[in-house]
Structure 1
Amino acid sequence: MKLHLLKPLAFIDLEATGLDITKDRIVQIAILKVFPDGREELKNQIINPTIPIPAEVSMVHGIYDDDVKDAPTFADVAGEYLHFLDDSDLAGFNSNRFDIPMLVEEFLRVGICLKLSDKRLVDVQAIFHTMERRNLKAAYKFYCGQELEGAHDAAVDIRATYEVLKAQLERYENVENINDGSPVTVPIKNDVSILSQLTKFNFLDPTGKVIYDEEQKAILFNFGKYKGKTVLEVFAKDPGYYDWMMNKANFSLSTKKVISRAWKAIHSHS
């Protein structure tokens, strides 16, 4: 099928040092520009992010610090990409939530405004999620082959959830590859201890505002200006931050419980 286009459509995909738009940087930019006459032009380039690439991120996209050390920075190529995108609408997969905001941020860092007001944005993931629902009713139909009658009644929904889990085990147990061909990292087994590994949950603070470090020892902030800093370190240097979190900002009781313990730990040794 040929796309019906009145102007070029540029499909954008970025690899980065992480997923935080404000602090992470692009390490690879690929843009496939499709023209109204069906022509295609691909620009694909490794970018030096000017900051280290975390090892766990490199393991995902396969780009390491050594790969980017001699590559141009985004500042070096920003003008070229601005010109390349100038006449185009934009598209991607999850691009409205990640790729385009990240690209806009990178342009702003070098003093360039990527004007979006005259562009149409097409997020392929949004179409996928619109047309292929991922709610319980859709899961029941997919795995159990039946329509879910009485959905949103709690008793009906929980019974359907149980039936879906059993059907998932029958379908996926001992399957070695997921539907895109990549290997299953956690093999599906009829074992709750294994199934629970598929779901990440922050037992320290369900809202995710504070988390444990990789060693599961120190407690870190996971938001705002102190993201990545330990709670003890921040409260020792900026005690007013504790008062703001406890009394002036809208944080959950779970978060407040954790930081209250940290605050008491500091002052019990003073």
Structure 2
Amino acid sequence: MGWHQELLIGFDLETTGTDPSASRIVTAAVLEVKEGVPIGRREWLADPGVPIPDEAAAIHGVTTERAAAEGRPAAEVVEEIARVLVGYWQTGVPVVAYNAAFDLTMLAAELRRYGLASLSERLGGEVGPVLDPYTIDRAVDRYRKGKRTLEATCAVYGVALDGAHEAGADALAAVRVACAVAERYEQVGGADLWELHRSQIGWYADWAAGYQQWLRKKGTPDAIVEARWPLR
């Protein structure tokens, strides 16, 4: 039985912006999923303590006013998310996140911001296993043209995405895409979880090097693309 037929944990954040080192968490979801069916769910709404830009609110639907009125203190939310994810990792259950390098780097930055223990400190070592269908799909179908957004990749693999940019919907879609990739590519579905985790480290680094080279050819000689995964 492959990993995609076992328990998987979907994870997604919606935030105040696109820079994981400077933005703040607004909403988060952690879903327990078995064979594509959600069997457990945790969701959070945080008050980030800073204004939520209008362009971000237009995407995920949470305004500054709503977050202040209904959201919990950000430090509490960040601590709970970390504790929940670490609990799964400690039992060997993988966390699935689409473009995991963003979400996990974002969580790591928030933990530092509030003086909380890091993910690696809680685990006593390496963070994982992590499954990132964005990175995996880009490696196994390298030359496919078109966008690699979650919505676009869902369409490629026949995965329904209802309510894009809602953390729970995106987390569930990420798991379903990961399972679809595993079903389509035997080398993915049959891989050992930690071997696949470490393969993604190399795949992400290879992509980053290629993208940096492309940017420099296009006239940005000082371009630096972060190559570390799953934490930048």
TM (norm. structure 1) is 0.45
Structure 1 residue aligned with 2:46: 47
User: Percent identity among equivalent residues?
Assistant: 27
Given the alignment, which residue of 98, 111, 129 partners 2:115?
111
Change (3 A) 1:93 1:118: closer
Superposed displacement of residue 118, structure 1: 5.1
Given the alignment, which residue of 100, 103, 106 partners 2:104?
100
Structure 2 residue aligned with 1:74: 74
Change (3 A) 1:123 1:80: same
AA of the residue aligned to 2:128: K
1:211-230 map, 5 Å: none
Change (3 A) 1:74 1:35: farther
How far apart in 1 are the matches of 2:38 and 2:59? Answer: 31
1:154-199 Cα distance to aligned partner (Å, 9 max, x none): xxxxxxxxxxxxxxxxxxxxxxxxx5899xxxxxxxxxxxxxxxxx
Structure 2 residue aligned with 1:130: 139
Change (3 A) 1:77 1:59: closer
SS in 1 for 2:59: helix
Structure 2 residue aligned with 1:13: 12
Change (3 A) 1:132 1:40: same
Q: Which runs of 5+ in 1 are unaligned?
A: 143-178, 183-204, 208-249, 253-270
CA RMSD of aligned residues (A): 3.5
Q: Which runs of 5+ in 2 are unaligned?
A: 89-93, 147-154, 163-217, 224-232
Superposed displacement of residue 82, structure 1: 2.9
Superposed displacement of residue 251, structure 1: 4.9
Superposed displacement of residue 73, structure 1: 2.2
How far apart in 1 are the matches of 2:34 and 2:49? Answer: 33
How far apart in 1 are the matches of 2:41 and 2:19? Answer: 26
Structure 2 residue aligned with 1:3: 4
AA of the residue aligned to 1:132: D
Superposed displacement of residue 67, structure 1: 1.6
Q: Which has the larger radius of gyration?
A: 1
How far apart in 1 are the matches of 2:42 and 2:219? Answer: 41
Matched residues, number: 144
Specify which structure has the higher proportion of helix.
2
1:52-80 Cα distance to aligned partner (Å, 9 max, x none): 11111211222111220121122123333
How far apart in 2 are the matches of 1:3 and 1:22? Answer: 31
How far apart in 2 are the matches of 1:2 and 1:91? Answer: 12
Q: Between the two structures, name the one with larger relative contact order (CA 8 Å, sep ≥ 6).
A: 2
Superposed displacement of residue 35, structure 1: 6.9
